[in-house]
Chains A and B, each alone.
Chain A
Amino acid sequence: MAWETVIGLEIHAQLATKSKIFSGSSTAFGAEPNTQANLVDLGMPGVLPVLNKKAVECAVRFGRAIDAHVAERSVFERKNYFYPDLPKGYQISQAELPIVGEGHVEIVLDDGEVKTVGVTRAHLEEDAGKSLHEDFHGATGIDLNRAGTPLLEIVSEPDMRSAKEAVAYAKKIHQIVTYIGICDGNMQEGSFRCDANVSVRPLGQEELGTRAELKNINSFRFLEKAINYEVERQIDLIEDGGRVVQETRLYDANKDETRSMRSKEEANDYRYFPDPDLLPVVIDQAFMDAVAADMPELPDVRRARFQEQYGLSAVDANILTSTRATADYFETVGERSGDAKIAANWVMGELAGALNKEGLEIEQSPVDGEAMAGLLARIKDNTISGKIAKQVFEAMWAGEGSADEVIEAKGLKQITDTGAIEAMVDEVIAANPQQVENYKNADPEKQPKMIGFFVGQIMKKSQGKANPGQVNQLLRKRLS
């Protein structure tokens, strides 16, 4: 029996606003419990919500970025259920009239194929607080700092057919939301959460199978593993004569399996109705225009511009625009050093290597764009050679200072003084009469290679600081 996997993703992106969606509390991560939860966030008797303008702008930005219809009129509704991290006993969300309607994104699969994935809708809602289950004997501790943080829930069409496609889609959405600056995309801190709806059906069948919703996935790697596990679980279950139950399942990264969430097994009747404390959100053309004017460059547009403006290949442009942080970094380096090609090589080469080695993201690089630009400028102006630059980079990475500081401290300035180089050339020639003899008697085609020996000697003598170009030039003159 051949099976087809059907996957839809629900992504919750925490919007990068300073204050919460319905109150003026801070959204900053990591504060002491309940120090960023005011009367409104705590659901005190008598309090009322007031909508954050920036949250609306973020949603509209996203709508434009995925070519979606932005609703002129959208409505907040209450999703009613009881849970200790939900102080009011309802979550303010949007149901029938979401702020963003149908849109789409394009993903590039491993084989280079481009696939369009539909986005059904995106809506604004408030986040719940956090439950802490350890540490309290027989009790759970509730922290409401997160309660009220604005979320944009992005719902895809069930267009994906494999875990890899799902990951590609998730990464694309991640790229978009970070590019347009509405979300910091930090999956570890929970600013970008993916829930996957997974079902299987016999290949060729039109009717969708029963789906399970997978939660608690906080990395792209786990997203792939969780989906793969679930697909196999469902297929095995059906082939053994069982039926898939529509339920929520948690992904356990340690055991690499999904398991049923007991507490949510009963069907929840959320009794959605328009929140009477809030009025319909009306977005007029002026608002849309203001958002459009403020819109950061989208990834695809930026990639095309990199190719044109900097003469980068499609492959390189793709790598350098993979995340907004990378693209920003590259452009800073490129502009400030005045050489896009060398900037591209260094960002994709040395920098990438160092980041990968320590498992760091480019935002966490100890050498920022400005510092890198400073280093490349010194290569360009011949202060140091490319080879020495690698040494300098290592020192900068270790926190030893700026390029200039390191070059100064370690005395790595390139030797470009003709007289000094000539002196070394003479010394090396004098010290190696046999090689000189061999060189002079050798075939002209073999000579360029043999001159390497003398170059090497001079580099050794100069601790790598002699300008290679001048060394070559002077050697050839002397040896001819």
Chain B
Amino acid sequence: MSLSSDDVEKIAHLARLAVDPADTESLSRDLSNILDLVEQMQAVDTDGVLPMAHPLEMSQRLRVDEVTETDKRELYQSNAPLKENGLFLVPKVIE
């Protein structure tokens, strides 16, 4: 399965990764090789097989509705690269 440079650019954008134009070719080659590996899956017929959602036969546990958290803003924001007045800051977003 071959990926074009265009494909690579689109995927990179979806994943918010910047790809150096100099690397696009080798990257698309690497990715195409991986996809060739993956293509082997098509060799087997899986009609009628249910996709495995989870290795264990379990259903979602439900948590009681109660407030268990307290304000720990200072601790939780201790790794924030940029903050002000308790808010995380990002470059201005225009809507």
Partners in one complex: yes
The verdict on A457 contacting chain B, using a C-beta distance below 8 Å, is no
Which residues of chain A (1-60) have a CB below 8 Å from chain B? 17-19, 23-26, 32-39, 42, 44, 50-56
What's the Cα separation between A132 and B16 when bound, in Å?
23
**Distance in Å from the Cβ of B18 to the closest Cβ of chain A?**
13
Contact B58 A82 (CB under 8 A): no
Contact status of A17 and B65, CB under 8 A, knowing A34-B77, A281-B60? yes
Contact B69 A84 (CB under 8 A): no
Closest B residue to A53 using CB positions:
B62
What's the Cα separation between A141 and B88 when bound, in Å?
5
The verdict on A262 contacting chain B, using a C-beta distance below 8 Å, is yes
Contact of A19 among B53, B65, B76, B94 (CB under 8 A): B65
The verdict on B84 contacting chain A, using a C-beta distance below 8 Å, is yes
**Distance in Å from the Cβ of A136 to the closest Cβ of chain B?**
6
Contact of A26 among B61, B67, B89 (CB under 8 A): B67
The verdict on A138 contacting chain B, using a C-beta distance below 8 Å, is yes
What's the Cα separation between A282 and B72 when bound, in Å?
34
Contact B69 A136 (CB under 8 A): no
Contact B58 A35 (CB under 8 A): no
Chain A residues within 8 Å of chain B by Cβ, number: 53
Which residues of chain A (128-181) have a CB below 8 Å from chain B? 131-133, 136, 138-144
The verdict on A269 contacting chain B, using a C-beta distance below 8 Å, is yes
Contact B84 A140 (CB under 8 A): no
Contact status of A25 and B90, CB under 8 A, knowing A38-B72, A263-B95, A279-B59? no
Contact status of A34 and B62, CB under 8 A, knowing A131-B93, A132-B87, A139-B92? no
Contact A282 B76 (CB under 8 A): no
Contact status of A143 and B87, CB under 8 A, knowing A133-B92, A263-B93? yes
Contact A142 B92 (CB under 8 A): no
Chain B residues lying within 8 Å of A263, measured Cβ to Cβ, are: 93-95
The verdict on B44 contacting chain A, using a C-beta distance below 8 Å, is no
Contact A50 B61 (CB under 8 A): yes
Closest A residue to B88 using CB positions:
A142
The verdict on A250 contacting chain B, using a C-beta distance below 8 Å, is yes
Closest B residue to A276 using CB positions:
B54
Chain A residues lying within 8 Å of B76, measured Cβ to Cβ, are: 34, 37-39, 42, 44
Contact A136 B94 (CB under 8 A): no
Which of B54, B60, B65, B82 is the most central at the interface, judged by chain A CB atoms within 10 Å of its CB? B65
What's the Cα separation between A24 and B63 when bound, in Å?
9
The verdict on B48 contacting chain A, using a C-beta distance below 8 Å, is no
**Distance in Å from the Cβ of A216 to the closest Cβ of chain B?**
9
The verdict on A401 contacting chain B, using a C-beta distance below 8 Å, is no
Chain B residues lying within 8 Å of A44, measured Cβ to Cβ, are: 76
What's the Cα separation between A36 and B82 when bound, in Å?
19
Contact A35 B60 (CB under 8 A): no
The verdict on A261 contacting chain B, using a C-beta distance below 8 Å, is yes
Contact B84 A34 (CB under 8 A): no
Contact B90 A33 (CB under 8 A): no
The verdict on B26 contacting chain A, using a C-beta distance below 8 Å, is no
What's the Cα separation between A276 and B63 when bound, in Å?
18
Closest A residue to B91 using CB positions:
A139
Contact status of A140 and B93, CB under 8 A, knowing A25-B69, A34-B73, A280-B60? yes
Chain B residues lying within 8 Å of A23, measured Cβ to Cβ, are: 69
Contact of A84 among B58, B61, B73, B93 (CB under 8 A): B93
What's the Cα separation between A33 and B76 when bound, in Å?
12
Contact A54 B14 (CB under 8 A): no
Contact B95 A282 (CB under 8 A): no
What's the Cα separation between A38 and B94 when bound, in Å?
27
**Distance in Å from the Cβ of B14 to the closest Cβ of chain A?**
6
Chain A residues lying within 8 Å of B81, measured Cβ to Cβ, are: none
**Distance in Å from the Cβ of B62 to the closest Cβ of chain A?**
4
**Distance in Å from the Cβ of B88 to the closest Cβ of chain A?**
4
Contact B67 A53 (CB under 8 A): no
Chain B residues lying within 8 Å of A42, measured Cβ to Cβ, are: 76
Contact status of A140 and B90, CB under 8 A, knowing A18-B67, A26-B69, A34-B73? yes
What's the Cα separation between A297 and B73 when bound, in Å?
41
Sample 12 A-B pairs with CB under 8 A, ordered by A number.
A23-B69, A24-B66, A25-B69, A35-B73, A73-B59, A133-B95, A141-B84, A250-B95, A276-B54, A278-B60, A280-B53, A281-B60
A interface list, Cβ under 8 A from B: 17-19, 23-26, 32-39, 42, 44, 50-56, 73, 75-76, 82, 84, 131-133, 136, 138-144, 250, 261-263, 269, 271, 274, 276, 278-282
Across chains A and B, which 10 residue pairs bring their CB atoms closest together, nearest first?
A141-B87, A24-B68, A54-B65, A53-B62, A282-B59, A33-B86, A279-B60, A35-B71, A142-B88, A38-B69
Give me 4 other A-B pairs in contact (C-beta within 8 A), A18-B65, A33-B85 excluded.
A53-B62, A53-B63, A139-B82, A143-B86
